[in-house]
Structure 1
Amino acid sequence: MSAHPSPATTADATTRRRAMAALALTVTFWSFNFVVGRAVAGDIPPLTLSFLRWLGALLIFLPFAWRHLRRDWPSLLRAWPKLLLMGLTSVAGYNTFVYLALERTTAINAVLLNATMPIVIAIMAAVAGVERMSRFQALGVAVSFGGVAYIVAGGNPAHLLSLQIGAGDLWILGATVCWGIYSVALRFKPAHVHPFALLAANMLVGMLALAPLAASEAIAGHLPVVTPATIAAVAYVAIFPSIIAYILWNWSVAAIGPNRAGLFMHLMPILTPLWSMLFLGERLGVHHLVGGIAILAGLVLTSRAPSARPAPPARHDDAPRRDR
């Protein structure tokens, strides 16, 4: 037996490393999105911010995706229920629910409840038969979630006992459910559809769903304040957390599965305070460092452990096979 790894094993290891790097970059963009959202909360209403985010993203991304979208449009139309589900849960659902939640709940509640996302993804993946959670993955989720809980409790676990579930907390729970559905639905995306076409179609579905909601805010007199800062904020959320992060997330889920990808969301309670310290003048406490070590340990446990059952192969009944 050769002591050298096989080409397939090397390729798999390389793919995992690239996916982990892509996920780390994705969560970096998303964590800074929270900081930007908080910075303009008083200047841009939440539904309007979500609509402007995806309108801008679609306008920027469409020139790059147009030829793929035009070619794959028949396949997308045949798979319209899947497309509708992905667009509503990711673009229209998750992001809007988060913006609404941050107006109605405390940061400690929002971050803790949002950190249940990897668990929600793992449960939904198991129920859908996409991916079974292994013991090491379950241990990684538990260790990482413990680190998140320690961070949001400010280093005092007794604070968790005083949490109260309110309307904002329910919005966050709804957001995690939306993202869990979307992450699992990615495994059943239309076959042979280019990733750019799929993302552009999801943007279009979500933007159309958000348009009447944003219009209701405008009719009620809640209009955005136009300043260089708000324009820059909309530009950032339209490009980095919307276009680049979604492309990296979709590829990573396909490469390593929703369970492992979902656990990287636990990096947000580390990165968001870091951005707040650098750009908002907030202080980074010891509890962030202790909790961060636990989160990283959970990531290592989960990323190194093989899945108990691989995902089923992609279905090919949505479009005829053809060369790309």
Structure 2
Amino acid sequence: MEPTNQTAVSKFLLLGLTKDPALQSLIFSLFLSMYLVTILGNLLIILAVSSDPHLHTPMYFFLCSLSFNDMCLSTSTVPKMLVNIQTQDQSITYIGCLSQIFFVLIFAYLENFLLAVMAYDRYVAICHPLRYTVIMMPHICVTLVLVSLFISSVDALLHTLMLLRLSFCADLEIPHFFCELAQVIKLACSDTSVDNVLIYVVTCMFGGIPLSGIIFSYIHIVSSVLRMPSSRGKHKAFSTCGSHLSVVSLFYGTGFGVYISSAVTDLSRKSAIASVMYSVVPPMLNPFIYSLRNRDMKKALIKLIQIGRT
């Protein structure tokens, strides 16, 4: 393939999930429904927490941050896909592709950090309940979220700037429904060894460290809960962690599933379908997990719905 300078690249082509024209309308309807459910569900979580003073605690502040991040993560990929299907135009501009990579990386890494921060919050609440209000003060909570956002932004900016130095081949077709970093790097004709090493290093650091923190937190949580004399106390402690643990399992489970599927098969189309599981499904299901498993959230949502009817 003939290489072309990156400045000459005007657009990429997003091939989507299938080449079958008959399935395009079905995919459009499915993803539009999933996107609307994601936005509505996460927005309800934010409104319910904001409207109920009893939920103005660190745990629900982090939950609102997670819900907002989920809306942003889904918005960074799905709308462009829907527009492409509706207009029957698979193209995305060079700047648009880099911008999409930038925002997807920000919100994906921020999700990772927020889950770790939420695990730390539960660890302090269960293992150090008497010091909880001192350790998890409002400005500390805000700082944790802002630091997570800063690290995610720097990482995303670094990857995006590294793409600017690459020269791309004449074939600019991305077998995906959004501009995924790894798929775009595969299209480059210049040396991508530095980019690939950077991906592995950053993923191990900013993916492995938060995951290790989550595992460390839950080891101590389980140990503390098992030492509780009251069975009611044990049930209450586990119930407060159940929703978060379910979200963690969903996020990392789908993420590892994509990684394994990519390692086992070289078919990019299958990898694109698998990527739906970590970029679209968790943001949609997280509100249901928290609202169905959390009694306080159920009450707040019911109260919010009643206010809306009056």
Check whether TM > 0.5. no
TM range (shorter): under 0.3
TM-score (norm 2): 0.28
